[in-house]
Chain A
Amino acid sequence: MIPILFGVTIITFILFNVVIDDPAVLLAGKSASPERLQQIRAELGTDQPLYVQYLTSVKQIFTFDFGRSWSSKQSVSETILAGLSPSLTLTVPAFIISILLSICLALGTAYFRGTAVDKFATVMALALMSISSLVYIMVFQYTFAFNLGVFPISGWDQSWTDRWQYVQLPWMIWIVLSLGPNLLVYRTAILDEYFQDYVRTARAKGLAEGVVLFKHVLKNALIPIITIVVVQMPFLITGSLLLEAFFGIPGLGGLLYQAINNSDFPVIRAMVVIGTLLYMTFNLLADLAYAVVNPRVRLS
């Protein structure tokens, strides 16, 4: 983990401090006077030698202090902490529903494997995935919020009782977006088990197909599925960039969208570091979960 974190600090450092054009010009505009540029450089610390800048960026990770946002001038860490609750409100319910729904559908296609039903479901999943996620968001928002008025177009309420109306439509879109890829991956995981010898044995001893499917196949197929699900979990915290941008949800995804629009590098860099830390943590958790659900693997 440590070498990877080291690698991430190097890559972000090279991208943001070495390759990129002078951020002072970006902030002050091309017509700014040299004194003004020098002043901004001093404020940002970009006039320091590169190794000092690098050490500062490493120190930021350990102190969880990523400086101040260039556009809002607020502390980056505080802004990020404030974005957690809206993001989780959006992502957690949608994530759980979409996984349960996809597993049910994948079991169905596996049951009908090789028939027209299976083929139709696979082609449909690929077709769903061939449309840009942006199009889904725009069409759903236009149809259900703008045209029919079933949901609010966008907005947010900090109170826990009133915020739910704003996330229902984003949940729907999240589920539609994740259905295609989830179905295909889970179907493969289930089919991999379907052709194992123990399934043939279970059938040979006269078990009903439903028992074979749920007690034998699903139980074993859950091992790879759980691993995949745990690895996806960092996205629950970092939120959804597109959904939050379109629906005005002030989560981490919306924060990142604004940061990219304003070229707010401290925020982007903090998000890269936090996203990576989460990814590594959940990867480790996935390994542990794998060992827990699969008794054939023992942690030494």
Chain B
Amino acid sequence: MTTQAATSASQIPKKKSANSLWRDAYRRILANRIALASMVVIIVYVLMALLAQFGLIATDYNLTNTDLKWLSPSSEYLFGTDIFGRSVLHRAIHGSVIAVTVGFFAALIALFIGVTMGALAGYFGGWVDDSITWLYTTIDSIPYILLMASFQFALGQGLSNLFFALGLTSWVTLCRLVRAEFLKQKQKEYVESARSLGASHFRRIFLHILPNVMHLGLIQFGLIFVSAIKIEVILSFLGLGVEAGVPSWGIMINEAKQELNRGYWWNLGAATVFMFGLVLAVNLFNDALRDALDPKLKNK
């Protein structure tokens, strides 16, 4: 530690100021017990999804056995069995694969489009700004569920189409935020000094300004992740989600429509409990992250 500090003594003040927002946020998250607990829950879900995907847990999620249909929850089948005698618990565990991938890829696509568009619009201004603003205002004025349904109609069913439909429709808020922040940042002295040192447009956008804007992307990533998981359920209801038979929480909740009146609540129960855990954890973590990164709230 001390030798490192001694050798790079000249760099320390510069590095510290560059990372202080993130380091500060990191410290605040570590001090926040709710945030830490949520992080643990999120990691558990990701691990569960990975293990299920690679066939290490809940392998018999598609094993049908009609002799065992509609078993009530018991110690052997924690959430009972469904119409085909499949373990509801194992299907719910497999549902985390769909949920985590849908949330992650939808948010990733939206993050990429939103940040790029917002950066270009805010940085260049002029006709670039005008056309990007026009595009996102247009998309924003179409009611979300209609836009989403239209995209799904055009692209067709299937998991990867779902990523794209969700991603292509969820980038607008992020784009608007990034654009506004770029408008502010590009006036600052550090961008001017980068320019005077001969930094290209590309360098200035992605190496100088972007790191100062990226916290917006991180917060929006969580929000889009959560909304994608919730919209998957509604799209399943409309018959526009993943194909029937795939064990997603949306499909499970929708199967329960016919089952509830006959008293079979466990399909609904398992999917709701599993979804609740993941969505609440991401929501709470995101809330803590926003507080940790928001400079306005810091002094209070």
Contact = CB atoms under 8 A, between A and B. Distances in A.
A27 to B, nearest CB: 14
A275 interface: yes
A164 interface: no
B239 interface: yes
Nearest to B257: A138
A134 B234 contact: yes
A122 B151 CA distance: 34
Contact of A271 (B34, B146, B275): B146
Given A11-B138, A19-B155, A268-B150, A131 B272 contact: yes
Contacts of A21: 156
B280 A142 contact: no
B150 A242 contact: no
Contacts of A260: 149, 238-240
Nearest to A275: B143
Contacts of B145: 241
Contacts of B234: 132-134, 242
Contacts, number: 117
A28 interface: no
A195 B34 CA distance: 25
Contacts of B261: 142, 146
Contacts of A134: 233-234, 237, 253-254
A130 B233 CA distance: 12
Contact of B283 (A12, A15, A130): A130
A268 B240 CA distance: 14
Contacts of B139: 11
Nearest to A11: B138
17 contacts: A4-B134, A4-B141, A12-B142, A12-B150, A15-B151, A19-B155, A21-B156, A127-B276, A132-B249, A132-B250, A132-B275, A142-B260, A235-B143, A260-B149, A272-B146, A276-B141, A276-B142
Given A260-B239, A272-B147, 20 more contacts: A4-B134, A4-B138, A8-B141, A12-B142, A15-B153, A16-B153, A20-B153, A20-B154, A126-B284, A127-B280, A130-B280, A131-B272, A131-B276, A134-B253, A138-B260, A138-B268, A260-B238, A263-B153, A275-B143, A276-B142
